Chain A
Amino acid sequence: MKVKLSIKNAVAALSIALFSLSMSAKAGVVYDYIKMDNEILIATDANWAPFSYINDAGEMEGFDVDVGREIAKRMGVEVRFITPDWGVITAGNWNMRWDVSVGSMTPTATRSEVLNFPAVYYYTPASFAVHVDSPVTTLAGLNGKNICTTASSTWEMYLEGNLDMLNAPAFTYKVTPGTITALTDGHTCLDDTRLGAGVRNDGIIDSVPMIQGAIEDGYPIKFLGDPAFYEPLSVATDKGNNDPELDAELARVIAEMQKDYTLTMLSMKWFKNADGSSNDYTIAY
C-alpha cells in the first residue's frame, strides 16, 4: 500500500512538472523574452542565395538576412540567426528555439494551422524553367511531364494543384505534370536539369531570382513562359507560442519599412537582372 501510494505521488508530481514545463513554453511570452534577453532569434534556411546564405567569412547574408537585421534594429534588440532545414521551420512547434522566421515563407492555409503570418514583406514571381535544348516551348508542353521542385514548398503545392495561399494575387494552374519529383534540397533539381532535357526531369519550377542566379552561374537553363504565379512572402511566428503582442510589433515594423522604402531599397540591392537593372518585388503585380 505504502509503495503504491508513493508511486502514485511520483507519477502525479512528474505529470505536474511536465505540465507546468510545457505550459511555461506556451503562454504568450515570446515578446517578453525577446525584450528580456535583448535578442531576437530569427530562423532562416541558409540554402537560398540571394535570399539567405553563408558568405565566405562564415556569416549570414542576403535579402532575408538584411530584412531580419532591420526588424531587430527597429525593435531595438540584437539579432541572432538560426539555420534549420526548411522542413523543420515549416513544421511549426518551434518551442521557442527561435522567435520569428524571416525566410521568404508564403502564407498558406495548411501552414497557418501551425504558424501565424503577421506581415507580408514582399512578393516573388515563381516560374517554370527548362534545359536550353528542351523541345518544350510552351507551358502547355509540360503537361504530363516530370517536373522537379523543392519538397514542402509552395511550388510543389502548385504542381499538385492545391496551392492554398492566403492573401495572394489571383493565379491559375497552367501545368498539370505527369510526375512531380520533390527533393529536400531544391538545388538538386537544377543540377538534374543541367544533365539534359528529360534525363532526370523535363523542367523545374522555382522562384525567379533563384533561377536567374543559376542562369548567371552558367546553368544551361531558360525561363519558360510568363511567371506562373506571384507568391506573397511573410514573416512567420509559432502558433504554438501564440503571442499577439509580438505579431503586432512585427506588423508595425514591416509597415514602417514599407512606408519609408527601406524594403524597396533592399529589394533593389539584392534582386538584379542580367542587364544590371534592379527589381522591386515589394509590390504585387
Chain B
Amino acid sequence: MFVDTVVEDKALHKPAFLIGLSVTVLAIFFALNLTNTIFGEFLSPVIGNPEESGFFGRLAVSFVLTILFVGNLLLISFARLKIQILIVWIELFFLFLAFAYSFDLEIAYIFQNDFICSTESARAKLCTPSKIGLMISKGLFTTIYISAVSIAIATVIAIVGAVAKLSNNGFAYAISSFYTSLFRGLPLLLQIYLIYMGLPQLGFMIDAIPSGIAALSLCYGAYMTEIFRAGIQSIPKGQWEASRALGFKFGLILRKIILPQSIPIIVPPTGNQFIAMLKDSSLVSVLGIWELMFLAKKLGAKDFNHLEMLLTAAMIYWLLTIILEMIQARIESKYKQKT
C-alpha cells in the first residue's frame, strides 16, 4: 500500500482519543461482567469476596482491566514498527491459548499413549509415541500427500483448461467453460460424494484415495484454470506478435514464451490455492481416508475428548499453513528479482 510521506500524530497519543477509548473499553468490560472470573479472585484483597462485591467490585475489575488494556496499547505504540507487530502477534497468540485453555481441556491426552508397546513384541514396531505422533506420522503425511498429488494434477488441468478457454475452437471453449462453471458451482463435499458414489454406477470403480484426489484436482483445476487464463492473458500482445513474426507455432509460443513469463503471475495465487486445498482436503475424511481431520475426529471419539484432538489438528494445520506461506513468500521474492 502507498504510504504518504507526511507523518500524522498517532491517534493513541491524542488525549481525546485516549479518553474516548478508555471509556469505551471500560463500558465493554463492565457489560461483560468479569467479576466472577479469575480477575475477580485476583482482586479479592481489594474488593473482598467477588460473589458479594456487587457494583463496586464489578466497576473495580473493569477499571483495572481497562488500565491494563489501554496501558498495553500505549506502551506498544512507542515501539518501532517491527517490534510492534511482533508484540501484538505474541499477545494475540497468548489470548488464543487462553481461549483454548478456558475449555478446561485435558491437554496431556494429546500426548498420551494407551497402547503398551512392550506387551506384544510383534506389534512393537507399530508403536507410536502418542496420539499427536500418530496424527503427524499418519494423518499429516496423508494430508500432504493427497494435496500435493492433487495440486500437480490440477496444474495440468488448469493449463489445458486455460488454453481451451482462450482458443477460438467452439468445442474446446464450451467444454472448458462448462467444466469450470460446474466444478466452481458445486460444493466440494458434493463433488467428493458424486465421484465416490456416482462413478461406480457407470462402472468406473475407484477407491477412496483416488476419489478424493480426483475431486480435489477437478475442483481446484477449475479455479486454477481461471488463474492460468488470467496469467496467460496478462502477457502483452506484442510477445505473441513477435513470436508469430519469427514463425513460431502456437505450442512453441505457449511453452517457451508465454508460460515462462506467466509463472511470476501464476505462482502466488497458485500457492494460495495449495494452502486452501490443504485445508479442504479435510473433507475427504468422509470417505474414511486416514488423514489429519479423520484421525482427529476418531481419536477424540474414543475417550470423548473431541476438542483436544480437534485443537491439535487445528494447530497442525495452522503451523503447516505458516510454513507454506513462508515458502511461498520466498518463491515470490525470487521471481520478483528475476523480472
Contact = CB atoms under 8 A, between A and B. Distances in A.
A204 to B, nearest CB: 13
Contacts of A25: 200, 203, 205
A283 interface: no
Interface residues of A, number: 39
A57 B130 CA distance: 8
Given A25-B203, A53-B302, A58-B134, A83 B126 contact: no
B200 A95 contact: yes
A47 B304 contact: no
Contacts of A83: 288, 290, 294, 298
Name, among A48, A88, A214, the residue most crowded by chain B CB atoms within 10 Å (CB to CB). A88
A54 B302 contact: yes
A49 interface: yes
A89 to B, nearest CB: 9
Nearest to A23: B203
A88 B287 CA distance: 8
Interface string B118-132: 000001001110110
B118 to A, nearest CB: 12
Interface stretch (A68-76, A174-182, A184-192): A184-192
B134 A93 contact: no
Interface in B193-214: 196-197, 200-205, 207-208
A58 B138 contact: yes
A49 B299 CA distance: 10
A47 B301 CA distance: 6
Contact of A57 (B127, B202, B298, B303): B127
B205 A49 contact: no
B112 interface: yes
A18 interface: yes
Contacts of B126: 57-59
Contacts, number: 104
B288 A49 contact: no
Contacts of A56: 112-115, 128, 130-131, 134, 299
Contact of B114 (A55, A185, A187, A188): A55
Contacts of B90: none
Interface in A33-87: 43, 46-49, 53-59, 82-85, 87
B297 A47 contact: yes
B327 interface: no
A138 B148 CA distance: 55
A88 B288 contact: yes
A163 interface: no
B286 interface: yes
A275 interface: no
B218 to A, nearest CB: 20
B205 A97 contact: yes
A72 to B, nearest CB: 18
A19 B304 contact: no
A21 B203 contact: yes
Contacts of A88: 196-197, 286-288
A7 interface: no
A219 interface: yes
A91 interface: yes
A213 B208 CA distance: 31
A84 B290 CA distance: 10
A93 B202 CA distance: 12
Nearest to A45: B288
B115 A54 contact: no
Choose among B138, B207, B295, B298 the residue with the greatest number of A CB atoms under 10 Å from its CB.
B298
A22 B200 CA distance: 8
A217 interface: yes
Contacts of B303: 49, 217
B306 interface: yes
A190 B300 CA distance: 13
A151 interface: no
A53 B298 contact: yes
A153 B58 CA distance: 49
Contacts of B204: 21
A55 B115 contact: yes
A46 B286 CA distance: 11
B301 A85 contact: no
Interface string B291-323: 000110111011111110000000000000000
Please provide the 4 A-B residue pairs with the shortest distance between their CB atoms, ordered closest to farther. A21-B203, A84-B288, A95-B200, A22-B203
23 contacts: A21-B203, A22-B202, A25-B203, A46-B288, A46-B298, A48-B301, A49-B301, A49-B303, A53-B298, A55-B115, A57-B117, A58-B128, A58-B134, A58-B290, A59-B115, A83-B290, A83-B294, A84-B287, A85-B287, A88-B287, A93-B197, A97-B208, A188-B306
